């Protein structure tokens, strides 16, 4: 068995006000897996994600990325290995052009000149946005900005890509285009989403977090067709959507 790209063991965390957000969470994601992280609001999903690159620390348990512990001395490398794409792309796009935004991360790692240019254009090619390199991000559609936000993370050559609600506020065409891009990437993927059909489309495996506990870790189709599990943890499919008519993805 390969070393997990993401190895979370016994992770517990309480906020300063005493609210316990995580209770002994275990999560192991291996290279090349695409895993959906599901759960109701307040389940602890964001708290878990913020531990993956050391934004939150101090609770019990451990987190490692490809064997490297998430500790203060390792944070620079951890934050290169863990690429987080926020729900709002405008949180990641703040410079004058798409090219500058995508170059920002690798430039801060010391990349420059032709090597930096290649890294930027490779990332933009991966998301189909190379022709927009010199456009201001605020002139792009929401779906295009979402793709550029993914490119800013891909330019760091991460080992795991973490996406927070990637399909939110996308029209159907943009949603499909992003799904095609995500399927094409050779990177381990953890997708936090309330969009259960998108989870079924993209992630063969799903983990359900509820009240700070992992309550399910199984094939996505099995999770979405377990009516008692879904009802107990406030997970609802869109009206009329039957995952049995879609089928599951190959692992």
At 247 the pLDDT is 54
pLDDT surpasses 60 at 64: yes
Average pLDDT, integer, range 134-159: 95
User: Using 50, 70 and 90 to split pLDDT, how confident is the model at 52?
Assistant: very high
Using CA atoms, how far apart are residues 222 and 241, in angstroms rounded to an integer? 15
Q: What is the 3-state secondary structure (H, E, C) of 43-71?
A: CCHHHHHHHHCCCCCCCEEEEEECCEECC
CATH hierarchy code of domain 6-239:
3.40.50.300
At 58 the pLDDT is 74
pLDDT surpasses 70 at 242: yes
Retrieve residue 111's tokens. 């990349």
User: Using 50, 70 and 90 to split pLDDT, how confident is the model at 1?
Assistant: low
Name the nearest CA neighbour of 214 among 4, 15, 1, 48: 48
Average pLDDT, integer, range 59-74: 93
**CA of 243: how far to CAs of 217, 222, 226, in Å?**
17, 9, 11
> Which residue do the tokens 């531990």 mark?
51
Name the nearest CA neighbour of 149 among 117, 174, 118: 174
At 248 the pLDDT is 47
Full-model pTM:
0.92
User: Using 50, 70 and 90 to split pLDDT, how confident is the model at 251?
Assistant: very low
pLDDT surpasses 70 at 176: yes
At 249 the pLDDT is 52
User: Using 50, 70 and 90 to split pLDDT, how confident is the model at 57?
Assistant: confident
Instruction: Give me the residue spans of the domains in the chain.
Output: 6-239
List, for residues 19-50, the tens digit of each pLDDT value: 999 999 999 999 999 999 999 998 999 999 99
């Amino acid at each position: 068995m390969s070393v997990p790209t993401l190895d979370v063991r016994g992770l517990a965390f309480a906020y300063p006000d005493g609210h316990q957000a995580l209770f002994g969470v275990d999560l192991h994601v291996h290279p090349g897996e695409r895993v959906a992280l599901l759960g109701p609001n307040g389940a602890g999903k964001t708290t878990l994600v913020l531990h993956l690159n050391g934004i939150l620390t101090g609770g019990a348990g451990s987190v490692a990325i490809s064997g490297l512990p998430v500790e203060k001395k390792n944070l620079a490398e951890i934050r290169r290995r863990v690429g987080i794409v926020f729900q709002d792309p405008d949180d990641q796009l703040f410079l004058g052009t798409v090219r500058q935004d995508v170059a920002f991360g690798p430039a801060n790692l010391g990349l420059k000149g032709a090597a930096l240019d290649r890294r930027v254009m490779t990332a933009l090619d991966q998301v189909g946005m190379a022709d927009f390199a010199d456009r201001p991000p605020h002139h792009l559609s929401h779906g295009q900005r979402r793709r550029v936000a993914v490119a800013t993370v891909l330019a760091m050559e991460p080992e795991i890509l973490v996406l927070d609600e990637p399909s939110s506020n996308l029209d159907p065409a943009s949603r499909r285009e992003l799904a095609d891009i995500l399927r094409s990437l050779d990177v381990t993927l953890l997708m936090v989403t309330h969009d259960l059909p998108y989870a079924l489309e993209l992630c063969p495996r799903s983990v359900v977090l509820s009240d700070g506990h992992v309550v399910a870790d199984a094939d996505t189709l099995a999770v979405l067709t377990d009516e008692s599990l879904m009802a107990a943890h406030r997970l609802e499919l869109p009206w009329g959507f039957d995952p049995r008519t879609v089928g599951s993805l190959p692992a």
